[in-house]
Amino acid sequence: MEQETKDFLKQRLTDEGFNRLMKIDNPALHQFVAKYIEHCNPDKVFVCTDAAEDIKYVREAALRNGEEKALATPGQTVHFDNYYDQARDKQHTLILIPKGEELDKAIKTGDRDECLKEIHNIMKDIMKGKEMYIRFFCLGPTNSEFSIPSLQLTDSAYVAHSLDILYRQGYEEFVRQGRNARFFKVVHSAGELDERKTSKNLDKRRIYIDIKEDTVYSANTQYGGNTLGLKKLSMRLAIHRGSKEGWLTEHMLVMAIHGPNDRKTYFTGAFPSLCGKTSTAMLDNETIVGDDIAYLRNKDGQVRAVNVEKGMFGIIMGINSKDDPIIWEVLHSPAEIIFSNVLVTPDKKVHWIGKDGEVPAEGENHSGKWFKGKKDDQGNEITCSHRNARFTVSLENFKNLDPTLHNPEGVAVGAIVYGGRDSDTWVPIEQSFDWTHGIITKGASLESETTAATLGKEGVRKFNLMSNLDFLPIRINKYIQANLDFGKGLEKPPLIFGVNYFLKDKDGNFLNAKTDKKVWYKWAELRVHNEVEAIKTPTGWIPKYEDLKRLFKEVLNKEYSLEDYKKQFMIRIPENLAKIERIKEVYKTQVIDPPNILFEELDKQKQRLLDAQEKYGDYITPDKL
């Protein structure tokens, strides 16, 4: 079999490509590559190493084949996806499971045998007339306990170029690990392209995740969330693997909060979309390790975390010089950046929704030639950029990058934060009583309210445990149990906090300024080191007024009134009780075999709230406690 595989590869690859592949001593990898060269049938195959000239070849191919266009600023390019290929295709993104198995309602699944047959039919000869790029990357730092070598085969130079920016090169890691490499595999084809070089056959768009074979299949799409196999697609493979091996894959930022005397305390944080994740990761005077996906391991009784990636595939809508000065500076520098689905003006500059300055009168965007007032087939006005328009850039361009990004040991985690969009229940920051209380009442109870801007109806609460519901390949009960078990082996578990930047008064006005979060994190950093006391409430520990007053002055040079403190940190008993009932109902009706400990922990919290209500009434200001 090995010899047959080698003979086939020798026929289909250049001598150089064949030698590069053979340098990796891994027959399983050779067989996989051979299988999909034969099946997808590209005209040419490029085996890419970590060498700068190879990476340059891919970047230039994206320009050469028209998937990207150069912009006025050196290093910057633009890519457009098909008008109807602008976001993750949740409908056709399936976890493949064998007949007879069942996952929770919230997890989209497909019959493994049927879906594999379908995707292989779709991908038969799909690369004919095109070039296949064989790409090697490493999820997590290289030469590390965290390292997961990952292979992606793609016929899109844009996708291959994006991967270069987002992930650590991994060819040498594959060489190093050889036959021991337990690697993730991705096969992607953009399929037939239209005259704008965008995917044409969207009716055959499929994204299938085979957790049994650690393989992702993606066809007839170019949008990054569907095609960058190492991102949320491989994240599912890693959650599955980690759940069996005792480590965690989380949809979390990793950052350092800078405390007294040059101390750095590392935080991870999970936030659903539009709940402040990027603004938290980019807090000025703090430093970022990662903004999206983290691996967490127990090393000698301590949680260590790494950023799985090295770049950012960020939403660009709303980024402006005032609220996002660091990102703004990067986006206006001659860094290597791919803008996608923004507006390109005739002078090859870019504009997007919410950018400083006037919207240009015309240009090119995801709809083709664009002008103000342009409408789509349904009569809806087309905005200058898509609401999900993106930028792809390496974190190494950010001046607030923490130096530990590539540390093979990861960083020691002092705190874990869960935050949702919540107008009336959670206080701005609250520490859980212990690990189990935090995982259940903060992480597994996470909700986010929809906004009118995104979904047309405001204030609808969406359940999204740990901000990871969309990406689970295992049952919810198993995922929660994995988080609970992870805490058991820790000598000093990280503190767990719930945060909420969106609390409102009865008139609908926000009770916090955008910048107040800087103070909440400085307080949390002090709590990690036991340097400030806290007030015990029925739902967790909250800050004392005098500590926040001092921090507001130090951090924001702002007076902080007792009146504001009482409004923000008032315990809202009816709302907290209603939340408990909502969460219990979700688990009773939508989750297979929900863990008993979840109901026990929520019932304990309910009893504490009822006891406080009897003693103090419905709304309790901190001074009463």
Nearest C-alpha neighbor of 220 from the set 230, 234, 208, 231: 208
So what's the pLDDT on residue 455? 43
**580 touches 586 (CB < 8 A):** no
Average pLDDT over residues 555-583: 98
So what's the pLDDT on residue 181? 96
Question: CA distances (Å), 39 to each of 31, 42, 125, 126, 132, in order?
Answer: 12, 9, 6, 8, 12
Tell me which fold the domain 2-67+90-245 belongs to: Phosphoenolpyruvate Carboxykinase; domain 1 (3.40.449)
Share of the chain above pLDDT 70, in %: 99
**142 touches 168 (CB < 8 A):** yes
Write down the catalytic residue from 48, 115, 138, 275.
275
Calpha distance 66→63 (Å, rounded)? 5
Average pLDDT over residues 557-570: 98
Residues 38-87: tens digit of each pLDDT: 999 999 999 999 999 999 999 999 999 999 999 999 999 999 999 999 99
Residues 231-259: tens digit of each pLDDT: 999 999 999 999 999 999 999 999 999 99
Instruction: Determine phi and psi for 148, rounding to 5 degrees.
Output: -125, 105
Tell me whether the CATH fold assigned to 249-310+405-624 matches the one assigned to 313-397: no
Calpha distance 622→172 (Å, rounded)? 57
Average pLDDT over residues 443-448: 97
Cα Dmax for the chain = 81
Confidence check: pLDDT of 453 > 60 = no
Average pLDDT over residues 546-564: 98
Share of the chain above pLDDT 90, in %: 97
So what's the pLDDT on residue 147? 97
Average pLDDT over residues 178-207: 98
Confidence check: pLDDT of 454 > 80 = no
Mean pLDDT (the chain) is 97
275 as an active site residue: the answer is: yes
So what's the pLDDT on residue 456? 53
Nearest C-alpha neighbor of 400 from the set 223, 218, 255, 611: 255
Residue 472, CB-side half-sphere exposure with 13 Å CA sphere: 22
Nearest C-alpha neighbor of 52 from the set 169, 147, 137: 169
So what's the pLDDT on residue 458? 67
Q: Tokens 């090859």, residue?
A: 348
Nearest C-alpha neighbor of 288 from the set 521, 502, 448: 521
3-state secondary structure at position 162: helix
Confidence check: pLDDT of 6 > 80 = yes
Calpha distance 174→22 (Å, rounded)? 11
Chain centre to alpha carbon of residue 458: 24
So what's the pLDDT on residue 459? 75
> Encoding tokens for residue 101?
């198995």
Average pLDDT over residues 598-612: 98
CATH of domain 313-397: 2.170.8.10
Q: Could you state, in order of their start, the residue ranges of all structural domains in the chain?
A: 2-67+90-245, 249-310+405-624, 313-397
| CATH class of this structure's domain 249-310+405-624 | alpha beta
Residues 370-419: tens digit of each pLDDT: 999 999 999 999 999 999 999 999 999 999 999 999 999 999 999 999 99
Residues 154-183: tens digit of each pLDDT: 999 999 999 999 999 999 999 999 999 999
Average pLDDT over residues 593-603: 98
User: pLDDT band at 450, cuts 50/70/90?
Assistant: confident
The one-letter amino acid code at 316 reads I
Calpha distance 218→237 (Å, rounded)? 15
Residues 337-366: tens digit of each pLDDT: 999 999 999 999 999 999 999 999 999 999
So what's the pLDDT on residue 1? 78
Average pLDDT over residues 486-499: 96
